[in-house]
Chain A
């Protein structure tokens, strides 16, 4: 196999106000004809910057400082901008994360495909439409003729990603760079999109670079994997080898942190950090009983039934996982339970009393407000950017706990130690903290008033896997130490399995299946649960290295 793309000592840096910052620091790799190469790394590893540098579409301030990149004999670093424009889209093309934003919002998707076709002289004014429809059909879009006239906002996320693929593949490029193509998509959509991309690549005998933070995903779809950290390649090899016998300490950490079958929550951490798992006390006494809960929104085209009469019970000390894809009603359910939204009907029996009777607007004045707290999905957006960590954690203590002065300070520091946030970070603002530190602040705020029940709404969705591992372990420890009950809302069955005793699977506002998590994971009854389990990326099981 000959190398189609060869990169040698590539270095990229950005001009910032604080001087030059190196994003990629001399990396070399090759992509052979027909090969799918995975570049795996966490945020800030330089994996996306590498791909932008190859396409020469770096953001303002980004410069290739050194090295060479050769594609089929063409020098990508020194080619003229005009030549690069011919290469982009026709020889090398890209698909991106967040597909809806990656499309022009006010132009018909068909026209967007035509733009590319006509620019690369693959179509004339007369046959452009037919060819655009053909390109839509190539990415398996049903009713392509009707979709031609659609605007991106009228399509689902998965459909938008297919359109982005259609644009990228319209001119038969030889190399496809996929930059986190499925981040933010549901797990079944992720599988559909990834299978489609892989099939198209194989069919057309193209090469591809898959850039992702998900080692499991890369292992499933790539022939070879590069692991990047801080702008350098720390390890490369075939997926099975990296999973079974990672050489570099960082790739070992990444492999460990990737949740998969046969692991427990402690084994996500590096071996030296694994303490004994604390065993939570689960009683048989129900803390929360949901009976026939419904929520109906009035939409423009009639009522929307977001939650259609669900019932379940959470016992004291239990951790219940609520799993489902976007639109299944899991966020609505958690918002109703945390009393930020009123249910249309149904009962929420908390500690023997129906709290659904207390309107959500007045619940802040209810004595039980402190008992039910929430950790939000986005650690960054859920913190006030103008409040320091100290102020954020103090807020519930001041308002609901009526704490002041030295007592308050002592409690804040106690909480900070509890969640593993160094005291020196208490006076920093959110933008001065890392993702993991922000997650700790959010958790400290939620447990500040010693609640009985905590709703965790995808608390690790925006975090890198190694940080996710740490935060999940923190949550497990807190539950045991403080005797908390959790409702853990997530789309990731692997993560749910690690944390929860009991799993509820939701689809279209209904519970399709619930039961002990081991049972659901190993012997699912409903077809939907089976589909969800099958769609999750399956990293090769780790063979014990000596």
Chain B
């Protein structure tokens, strides 16, 4: 894949480019939490605190020091993996995030995979058969997907599959209380359970996951399907498709090897965008399904001005986005041979 050196160089450069972004993210997440309204010292000192004890807390937390000094302390702690102490949970923020981030990621990734598996073939079919029932179905699903908010589809799905039909388990968290949590390896219950060979737990986790994942998938399906359809239509009307047809290549080769690979580029871009806004949309779905994810954690922390937790959340999300963009760019390099030359 990286046989030619310009592409390898572009890849290395791209990875190097994300380092200043990470530094920027650290600075901004620090400043952002300092800019939040409210005085953390007042909260930390407790309800019964007087001016004196608040001041003591302030000194104890290092908040009396100049901002630049606080920043270096923060970075120093960060380098040791210390994100501070959460006020609400009483645990360290790093522990909380390690527990909750995989929950959100498992939900988001499952939803995204589900959406891709449905939306991409749907878009391809709609593009190859414009004006037929597949095309119309695609349009209906796309319209429904964008117009129905996730909290609504979530509640509707719970109503139908849990309340009316009774086939779904109660929408409370990642695993029913009758199962034990699998050993923590990756934090993804499906993977951890499979690693243990505990298929009973695996099924339990999958059952819990299916409704929230479907809810999110319905929402993310729309842009992916629409972009796939548009990109395929553009690719199929290109000159090189005519060349391939005139050379007698089979429809399958033309469709997949020629049109689809070229259509992938805009689809991958859309996937990156969809992934980021799905992480945002997560909050509502997590609330509806009592999913112990990072979204609900952040909202709770924000409400009580738990600034270490908020700071940790912002940092984690930002790093996730940086990593995501990096992956998307590297995917681009893998798909499009022209990229290695155009990047500086």
Please give the distance in Å from A31's CB to the nearest CB on chain B. 17
Do A106 and B248 touch across chains, with their CB atoms under 8 A apart? no
Q: Encode B262-280 as 1/0 by CB contact (under 8 A) with A.
A: 1000000000000000000
B239 sits at the interface (CB 8 A)? yes
A-B contact pairs, 17 of them (CB 8 A): A55-B245, A55-B246, A57-B242, A57-B245, A60-B130, A89-B248, A94-B243, A96-B239, A101-B239, A102-B239, A106-B336, A107-B257, A115-B249, A115-B253, A151-B338, A168-B246, A168-B247
Do A89 and B240 touch across chains, with their CB atoms under 8 A apart? no
Do B337 and A106 touch across chains, with their CB atoms under 8 A apart? yes
Q: Encode B228-256 as 1/0 by CB contact (under 8 A) with A.
A: 00000000011110111111111001000
Do B335 and A106 touch across chains, with their CB atoms under 8 A apart? yes
Do B261 and A106 touch across chains, with their CB atoms under 8 A apart? yes
Instruction: Report the nearest A residue to B239, measured CB to CB.
Output: A101
Which B residues are CB-close (under 8 A) to A93? 246-248
Q: Encode A100-124 as 1/0 by CB contact (under 8 A) with B.
A: 0111111100000001100110000
Interface residues on B, range: 20 to 34
Which A residues are CB-close (under 8 A) to B240? 101-105
Which B residues are CB-close (under 8 A) to A168? 246-247
Instruction: Report the nearest B residue to A170, measured CB to CB.
Output: B247
Do B246 and A153 touch across chains, with their CB atoms under 8 A apart? no
* From B238, B244, B336, contact of A101 by CB (8 A): B238
Which B residues are CB-close (under 8 A) to A116? 247-249
A139 sits at the interface (CB 8 A)? no
The winner among A57, A120, A151 for most chain B CB atoms within 10 A is A57
A164 sits at the interface (CB 8 A)? yes
Instruction: Report the nearest B residue to A164, measured CB to CB.
Output: B243
A98 sits at the interface (CB 8 A)? yes
A90 sits at the interface (CB 8 A)? yes
Which B residues are CB-close (under 8 A) to A88? 245-248
Do B338 and A105 touch across chains, with their CB atoms under 8 A apart? yes
Instruction: Report the nearest A residue to B258, measured CB to CB.
Output: A104
| Interface of chain B residues 197 through 246 with chain A (CB within 8 A) | 237-240, 242-246
4 new A-B contacts, CB < 8 A, other than A96-B239, A101-B240, are: A101-B239, A106-B261, A115-B247, A119-B249
Please give the distance in Å from B5's CB to the nearest CB on chain A. 13
A87 sits at the interface (CB 8 A)? yes
Give Cα A151 to B338, complex, Å: 8
* From B237, B262, B344, contact of A105 by CB (8 A): B262
The winner among A84, A93, A102 for most chain B CB atoms within 10 A is A102
Which B residues are CB-close (under 8 A) to A107? 257-258, 261
A: residues with CB less than 8 A from B are 55, 57, 59-60, 84-90, 93-94, 96, 98, 101-107, 115-116, 119-120, 151, 153, 164, 167-168, 300
Please give the distance in Å from B7's CB to the nearest CB on chain A. 11
* From B237, B250, B262, contact of A106 by CB (8 A): B262
Do A115 and B239 touch across chains, with their CB atoms under 8 A apart? no
Which B residues are CB-close (under 8 A) to A86? 248
Instruction: Report the nearest A residue to B339, measured CB to CB.
Output: A106
Please give the distance in Å from A45's CB to the nearest CB on chain B. 19
Which A residues are CB-close (under 8 A) to B239? 96, 98, 101-102
Give Cα A55 to B240, complex, Å: 15
The winner among B237, B245, B257 for most chain A CB atoms within 10 A is B245
Instruction: Report the nearest A residue to B337, measured CB to CB.
Output: A151
Instruction: Report the nearest B residue to A51, measured CB to CB.
Output: B246
Do B243 and A102 touch across chains, with their CB atoms under 8 A apart? yes
Please give the distance in Å from B339's CB to the nearest CB on chain A. 10
B: residues with CB less than 8 A from A are 130, 237-240, 242-250, 253, 257-258, 261-262, 335-338, 341, 344
Give Cα A81 to B257, complex, Å: 20
Instruction: Report the nearest B residue to A108, measured CB to CB.
Output: B337
Instruction: Report the nearest A residue to B240, measured CB to CB.
Output: A104
Closest 8 CB pairs of A and B: A89-B248, A88-B248, A101-B239, A94-B246, A89-B247, A102-B243, A116-B247, A104-B240
Which B residues are CB-close (under 8 A) to A98? 239
Q: Given the interface contacts A85-B248, A89-B248, A96-B243, does A106 sit within 8 Å of B253 by beta carbon?
A: no
Instruction: Report the nearest B residue to A151, measured CB to CB.
Output: B337
Please give the distance in Å from A266's CB to the nearest CB on chain B. 39
Which B residues are CB-close (under 8 A) to A60? 130
Which B residues are CB-close (under 8 A) to A96? 239, 242-243, 246
Which B residues are CB-close (under 8 A) to A57? 242, 245-246
Please give the distance in Å from A179's CB to the nearest CB on chain B. 9
Q: Given the interface contacts A89-B248, A119-B249, A119-B253, does A103 sit within 8 Å of B261 by beta carbon?
A: no
The winner among B242, B243, B246, B258 for most chain A CB atoms within 10 A is B246
Give Cα A96 to B238, complex, Å: 12
Please give the distance in Å from B287's CB to the nearest CB on chain A. 43
Which B residues are CB-close (under 8 A) to A87? 248
Which B residues are CB-close (under 8 A) to A119? 247-250, 253
Which A residues are CB-close (under 8 A) to B253? 115, 119
Which A residues are CB-close (under 8 A) to B335? 106
Give Cα A60 to B130, complex, Å: 10
Give Cα A133 to B148, complex, Å: 55
Instruction: Report the nearest B residue to A120, measured CB to CB.
Output: B248
Give Cα A153 to B250, complex, Å: 25
* From B248, B261, B262, contact of A90 by CB (8 A): B248
Do A104 and B248 touch across chains, with their CB atoms under 8 A apart? no
Please give the distance in Å from B260's CB to the nearest CB on chain A. 11
Please give the distance in Å from A57's CB to the nearest CB on chain B. 5
Which A residues are CB-close (under 8 A) to B242? 57, 96, 102
Give Cα A106 to B258, complex, Å: 9
Do A103 and B248 touch across chains, with their CB atoms under 8 A apart? no
Which A residues are CB-close (under 8 A) to B238? 101
Give Cα A87 to B243, complex, Å: 14
Please give the distance in Å from B41's CB to the nearest CB on chain A. 54
Please give the distance in Å from B290's CB to the nearest CB on chain A. 45
Please give the distance in Å from A131's CB to the nearest CB on chain B. 15
Do A85 and B250 touch across chains, with their CB atoms under 8 A apart? yes
Give Cα A358 to B306, complex, Å: 61
Give Cα A96 to B246, complex, Å: 10
Which B residues are CB-close (under 8 A) to A85? 248-250
Instruction: Report the nearest B residue to A113, measured CB to CB.
Output: B247
Give Cα A59 to B261, complex, Å: 21
Give Cα A367 to B238, complex, Å: 46
Which A residues are CB-close (under 8 A) to B336? 106
Q: Given the interface contacts A88-B245, A101-B240, A104-B244, does A153 sit within 8 Å of B338 by beta carbon?
A: yes
Which A residues are CB-close (under 8 A) to B249? 85, 89, 115-116, 119
Please give the distance in Å from B186's CB to the nearest CB on chain A. 34
